[in-house]
Amino acid sequence: MLIKVLGSGCTNCKKLEENTRKAVEALGLDATIEKVTDFKDIMSYGVMKTPALVVDEKVKIMGRVPTAEEIKKYL
pTM: 0.94
Q: Which domain holds residue 45?
A: 2-74
Annotation marks residue 74 as catalytic: no
Number of compact structural domains in the chain: 1
Q: Round to whole Å and give the CA distance between 63 and 37.
A: 15
Residue range 22-48, pLDDT digits in tens:
999 999 999 999 999 999 999 999 999
Contact of 50 with 43, CB cutoff 8 Å: no
From the list 13, 42, 54, 65, the catalytic residue is 13
Contact of 6 with 42, CB cutoff 8 Å: yes
- Work out the pLDDT band at 54, boundaries 50, 70, 90: very high
Annotation marks residue 13 as catalytic: yes
From the list 10, 26, 29, 48, the catalytic residue is 10
pLDDT at residue 19 in the model: 98
Average pLDDT, the chain: 97
Residue 68 belongs to domain with CATH number: 3.40.30.10
Mean pLDDT confidence for 3-17:
96
